């Protein structure tokens, strides 16, 4: 199994990559919420269910309400689909009040279509919030009436700022896709240029963009989780000309450190390589690598470059079924959450606590 990021958005994408993208669409909004998982474990085992006002409830279509991110205060940012599969944002306050919103300029074209983006496979025009920092600012992207992607920031007072990367293309599915915001208001994301080449960007609160690609990259990607930490370090991965995945950490000053997990496979045509997903306050990076048998394993990379490897105990090891362990996010305490696929190709969540005993 490999996630949507294995779908390279070009003509070389294989059937294997397409199938992996479907799994990522399931994982992205459901398993990503590391903060929610850790928060729940720290409290009594109580689950509060909620639906955004106006959310669709038609059976069998997968429509409805999805919490996407939770900040340290307990405020949840998320997305919901209406009966026409138009997407809208919401904020659930720590007190339980639900506030719905749409980015100015967001499209309202109805229809059950799916769109491939640097952040996932999504259905419907509209607004997609993805990250909610501790100050209450929300970032994400929206599709306009022409299904072109644009980034946005929603301030705590509800005012919106829309933005586009200066080098972005202007033909769908090109666009600017904001994915994560840190406490200082610095945003990391991806954009497609006019040639549909995929790049990373960092945007300051003053709308200054810095675009970047590691050396040798033909496809640079940062992910939906905690891809930018409070210090402004951005982690992600890139593909070389042979399709092999390598990971990187980009420091606030622009220095890029590239790395590969020892034991990662080297066949880019099979989507093998090292895929960093997230980094925390201390600069610890987590993600997955795919071995020469095309099985996924988890890794942790310490700031000094040392690696720790792990597999969830119930993870399968059948390459034909894309089984394995898929870390997706890490918090300040070093706790990692994600998913694994068992030998029956069933998805399960996991929480890995730092230190011994380990998986």
HEC secondary structure over the chain: CCCHHHCCCCCCCCHHHHHHHHHHHHHHHHCCCHHHHHHHHHCCCCCCCCCCCCCCCCCCCCCCEEEEEECCCCCEEEEEECCCCCEEEEEECCCCCEEEECCCCCCCCCCCCEEEECCEEEECCEEEEEEECCCCCEEEEEECCCCCEEEEEECCCCCEEEECCCCCCCCCCCEEEEEEECCCCCEEEEEECCCCCEEEEEECCCCCEEEECCCCCCEEEECCCCCECCCCCEEEEEECCCCCEEEEEECCCCCEEEECCCCCCCCHHHCCEEEEEEECCCCCEEEEEECCCCCEEEEEECCCCCEEEECCCCCCCCHHHCCEEEEEEECCCCCEEEEEECCCCCEEEEEECCCCCCC
Q: For the chain, what percent of residues have pLDDT higher than 90? A: 54
The predicted model gives 53-74 an average pLDDT of: 81
Q: What is the pLDDT of residue 73?
A: 85
Q: What is the pLDDT of residues 310-331, one digit of tens each?
A: 999 989 888 766 789 988 888 8
Q: What is the pLDDT of residue 321?
A: 67
Q: What is the pLDDT of residues 107-165, one digit of tens each?
A: 988 764 445 555 454 556 899 999 999 999 999 999 998 889 999 999 999 999 999 99
The predicted model gives 52-81 an average pLDDT of: 83
Q: What is the pLDDT of residue 11?
A: 29
The predicted model gives 7-28 an average pLDDT of: 37
Q: What is the pLDDT of residue 117?
A: 52
Q: What is the pLDDT of residue 36?
A: 41
Residue reference for tokens 């915001």 = 181
The predicted model gives 221-229 an average pLDDT of: 87
Residue reference for tokens 């230190």 = 355
The predicted model gives 47-53 an average pLDDT of: 85
Q: What is the pLDDT of residues 79-91, one digit of tens each?
A: 888 988 899 999 9
Q: What is the pLDDT of residue 9?
A: 34
Q: What is the pLDDT of residues 266-305, one digit of tens each?
A: 999 989 999 999 999 999 999 999 999 999 999 999 999 9
pLDDT grade, residue 179 (50/70/90)?
very high
Does pLDDT of 196 surpass 60? Answer: yes
CA distance 115 to 121: 5
The predicted model gives 180-193 an average pLDDT of: 95
């Amino acid at each position: 199994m490999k996630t949507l990021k294995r779908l390279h958005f070009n003509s070389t994408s294989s059937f294997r990559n397409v199938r992996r993208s479907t799994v990522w669409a399931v994982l992205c909004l459901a398993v990503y919420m590391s903060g929610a998982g850790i928060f729940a474990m720290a409290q009594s085992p109580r689950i509060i269910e909620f639906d955004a006002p106006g959310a669709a409830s038609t059976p069998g279509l997968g429509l409805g309400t999805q919490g996407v991110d939770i900040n340290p205060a307990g405020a949840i940012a998320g997305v919901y689909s209406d009966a026409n599969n138009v997407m809208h944002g919401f904020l659930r306050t720590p007190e339980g009040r639900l506030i719905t919103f749409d980015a100015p300029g967001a499209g309202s074209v109805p229809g059950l279509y799916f769109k491939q983006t640097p952040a996932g496979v999504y259905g419907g025009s509209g607004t997609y919030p993805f990250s909610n920092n501790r100050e209450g600012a929300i970032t994400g992207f929206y599709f306009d009436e022409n299904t072109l992607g644009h980034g946005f920031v929603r301030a705590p007072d509800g005012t919106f700022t829309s933005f586009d990367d200066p080098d972005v293309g202007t033909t769908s599915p090109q666009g600017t896709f904001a994915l994560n915001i840190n406490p200082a208001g610095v945003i990391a994301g991806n954009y497609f240029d006019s040639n549909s080449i995929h790049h990373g960007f960092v945007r300051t609160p003053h709308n200054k963009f810095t675009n970047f690609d590691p050396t040798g990259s033909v496809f640079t990607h940062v992910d939906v989780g905690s891809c930018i930490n409070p210090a402004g370090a951005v982690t992600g991965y890139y593909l070389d000309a042979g399709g092999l995945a390598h990971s990187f950490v980009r420091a606030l000053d622009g220095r890029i450190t590239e790395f590969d997990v020892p034991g990662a496979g080297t066949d880019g045509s099979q989507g093998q390589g090292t895929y960093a997903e997230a980094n925390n306050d201390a600069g610890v990076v987590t993600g997955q690598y795919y071995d020469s048998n095309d099985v996924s394993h988890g890794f942790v990379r310490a700031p000094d470059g040392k690696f720790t490897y792990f597999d969830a105990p119930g993870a399968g090891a059948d390459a034909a079924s894309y089984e394995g362990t898929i870390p997706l996010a890490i918090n300040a305490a070093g706790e990692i959450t994600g998913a694994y696929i068992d030998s029956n190709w069933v998805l399960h969540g996991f929480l890995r606590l730092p230190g011994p005993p380990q998986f």
